[in-house]
Amino acid sequence: MTIRSVAIIGLGLLGGSIGLAVKARGLAVTTTGWDRDAEVRARAAARGLADTIAETPEAAVAGADLVILCVPVGAMADAARAIAPGLAPETIISDVGSSKAAVAEALAEALPGATIIPAHPVAGTEQSGPDAGFATLFAGRWCIITPPEGVDPASLEALSDFWAALGSKVETMDAAHHDLVLAVTSHIPHLIAYTIVGTASDLEDVTQSEVIKYSAGGFRDFTRIAASDPVMWRDVFLTNRGAVLEMLGRFTEDLTALQRAIRSGDGDTLFDLFTRTRAIRRAVIEQGQDDERPDFGRDH
């Protein structure tokens, strides 16, 4: 089984990048896109994010081998209900959501009997909307597929092959484990970035203008992450609540221990941690997951 036609529902950063990657890599796959926002559809047509931009969700999915829902995780159920009337029984339903157990449940409820295989390409930028996508977003990045129990092996293989053809490295794991891993590698980093940017902008004894002027000391990196799509991230935290709260608890314990070390002048504890964390950076670079140039190769 090979994917020959893909329907992309939601034409923001992720959906647009899928369409552009299919085209740029010259895959023998036709793409049809739809977005509930007419302005986004018009912009998607102008940029050529898909071969065809459909006017209705049913039309978008008609005859598709694979439908990928590229909407905020809180909107998955509505999107699934919108496409239901146009779906053929053999169509594979997948998505790109950042939390997986909740999405699997929502899709199974909205599309009973359908072949549902959730997935999560671990790739993105702080930009969103139909102008944000680009063809190389997935190159060298991991795509995690979370197949439900009893999944059809041929469908799973077809979905894996599709993501590999976009340049991704593909891994499978169960949804609960995905949600725990991503809580620590993505959701908590976003939560603390949003928090510190909020804290900094609310101070009375330090002005917002000072915070912005002197942001090159580290803060500006957090502002990038805290510029990510608010709807997407609200939904991530609401749908991956358990794992996020669990990991947040561990982070807070560790932060409290450092706070105590600072208060008591325990330099050894600080030095030991600060030395240990460098090894993680080296591994991230060695495994091709980040740019080794200082400061990510920002212009200087």
Q: Rule CB under 8 A: which of 20-49 touch a copy of itself?
A: none
Contact between 298 and a copy of itself per CB under 8 A: yes
CA 171 to chain centre: 15
Binding segment for a copy of itself among 35-43, 103-111, 146-154, 287-295 (CB under 8 A)?
287-295
The secondary element (H helix, E strand) that includes residue 161 is helix 153-165
Q: Least CB distance from residue 292 to a copy of itself, whole Å?
A: 10
Sort strands 66-69 and 5-9 into parallel, antiparallel or unpaired.
parallel
Chosen residue from 98, 103, 109, 160 binding a copy of itself by CB under 8 A: 98
Chosen residue from 45, 171, 172, 174 binding a copy of itself by CB under 8 A: 171
Q: What are phi and psi of 125, to 5 degrees?
A: -135, 180
Q: Least CB distance from residue 168 to a copy of itself, whole Å?
A: 11
Q: Give buried/exposed letters for 219-231 (b at 16+ CB in 10 A, else e).
A: beebbebbebbee
Contact between 182 and a copy of itself per CB under 8 A: yes
- Binders of a copy of itself among residues 109 to 138 (CB under 8 A) are 122-127, 132, 134, 136-137
Q: Least CB distance from residue 205 to a copy of itself, whole Å?
A: 6
Check if the beta carbon of residue 68 is closer than 8 Å to that of residue 9. yes
DSSP letters spanning 208-231: HHHHHHTGGGTHHHHHHHTTS-HH
Contact between 75 and a copy of itself per CB under 8 A: no
Over the Cα atoms of the chain, what is R_g? 21
- Binders of a copy of itself among residues 208 to 267 (CB under 8 A) are 208, 210-228, 230-231, 233-235, 237-238, 241, 244-245, 247-248, 250-252, 254-255, 258-259, 262-263, 265, 267
